[in-house]
Amino acid sequence: MRVGVPQEIKNHEYRVGLTPSSAAELVHHGHTVLVETGAGVGSGIPDQDYAAAGAEIVADADAVWSGADLVVKVKEPQPDERARLRRGQTLFTYLHLAPDLEQTRDLVASGATCIAYETVTSPSGGLPLLTPMSEVAGRLAPQVGAHCLEKAAGGRGVLLGGVPGVPAADVLVLGGGVSGTHAATIALGMGANVTVVDRSADALRRLASQFGTGLRTVFSTRDAVRELVKRADLVIGCVLVPGAAAPKLVTRDMLKTMKPGAVIVDVAIDQGGCCETSHATTHDDPTYVVDGVVHYCVANMPGAVARTSTFALNNVTLPFLLALADKGWRQALTDDPHLREGLNVHEGQIACQPVAEALGLPYVSAERILGI
């Protein structure tokens, strides 16, 4: 199979879909790997490293998209990339379709087979291809939130950890999953007062066991969120409903009760965000202010630490990628029910039920598409 790796073109996206070691594994399995020149530079990987791994360096994106049977990316295809997709081609990347009707329509129209990292499951019920980027985004959130709290950045002028004699900042983490746990880890390490809310009693018990009395845990209700938001200097939104749009936990009315210069970092923005006033921003222009509250809603946060993110992502995508390349998408999905959950679009049909429901579009199960 011919596996293509284009350079990412989303704003300030420096990650790359394949590392040289992953390329070498594919070549060892008898596949051809096409890498766009410069694709790995943002992650500190020069073309010669890919060439040494046995990959073929091609001149431009057209050569990758036209020559590849299977395209491996990081972020969702941008409009120019979606125009290059074709029937019979497989795309393996993050898609986050539930809040993105335009992208969904383009993928449906392309006729391609599109498999999303974020809906592939594990035997334990987790999301193994989303987890490493959730870890990165969770750990970045207190870091960028601390910067946004600085007065010159539009914030309250509060130091996250405080100093002797001056209280630390109050940090509220919405969601106690992977991102939320890692956000709490870093915020506590920076000396903040941290509260995590979640609707899962098991998640709250896990967090209490992991962090002890240094972390406050609260069962998530509308009233609880409303009261906690009022006191927070920094709100980190880490809510995830697999494949579906994120619920809007912080309403516009709640926002109006927050402290002037408080900050919201909406890690859930890839799935539409968990604040009513959130909309996606870029690394070029990461923040905006609504009702005196600074919003940081960058949709590709892990791209800021591209080298760490690229290698972490490849650690988990490689086994699935080898299965797709070795067997072809149809047999790979037939054999592996967890990879099958990643099928979002195939030849004009939406195969992910939460996406179809979020966008009001028809749904066809992957099993029906595969005839199993």
- The answer on whether 267 is annotated among ligand-binding residues is yes
Q: Which of 252, 348, 174 is CA-nearest to residue 184?
A: 174
- The answer on whether 301 is annotated among ligand-binding residues is yes
- The answer on whether 315 is annotated among ligand-binding residues is no
- The answer on whether 340 is annotated among ligand-binding residues is no
Q: How far apart are CA 235 and CA 287, in angstroms?
A: 14
Q: How many CB atoms lie within 10 A of CB 285?
A: 9
Which residue is catalytic, options 31, 96, 295, 338? 96
How far the first Cα of the chain sits from its last, in Å, is: 24
- The answer on whether 209 is annotated among ligand-binding residues is no
Cβ distance 198 to 180 under 8 Å? Answer: yes
Tokens of 365: 């199960």
Angle at which helix 306-327 crosses helix 131-148, to 10 degrees, equals 160
Residue 279's Cβ-side half-sphere holds a number of Cα atoms within 13 Å equal to 5
Taking the CA atoms of residue 175, residue 181, residue 183 and residue 187 in that order, the dihedral angle to the nearest 10 degrees is 110
- The answer on whether 298 is annotated among ligand-binding residues is yes
- The answer on whether 300 is annotated among ligand-binding residues is yes
- The answer on whether 11 is annotated among ligand-binding residues is no
Q: How far apart are CA 101 and CA 341, in angstroms?
A: 20
- The answer on whether 220 is annotated among ligand-binding residues is yes
Stretch (H or E) spanning 236: strand 234-237
The reply to whether 96 belongs to the active site is yes
- The answer on whether 268 is annotated among ligand-binding residues is yes
Max CA-CA distance within the chain?
Answer: 67
- The answer on whether 293 is annotated among ligand-binding residues is no
Which residue is catalytic, options 270, 295, 336, 338? 270
- The answer on whether 173 is annotated among ligand-binding residues is no
- The answer on whether 98 is annotated among ligand-binding residues is no
Detail the residues annotated as belonging to a binding site for NAD(+): 134, 198, 220, 239-240, 267-270, 298-301
Binding residues: 15, 75, 134, 198, 220, 239-240, 267-270, 298-301
Residues annotated as binding site for substrate?
A: 15, 75
What residues are annotated to the active site?
96, 270
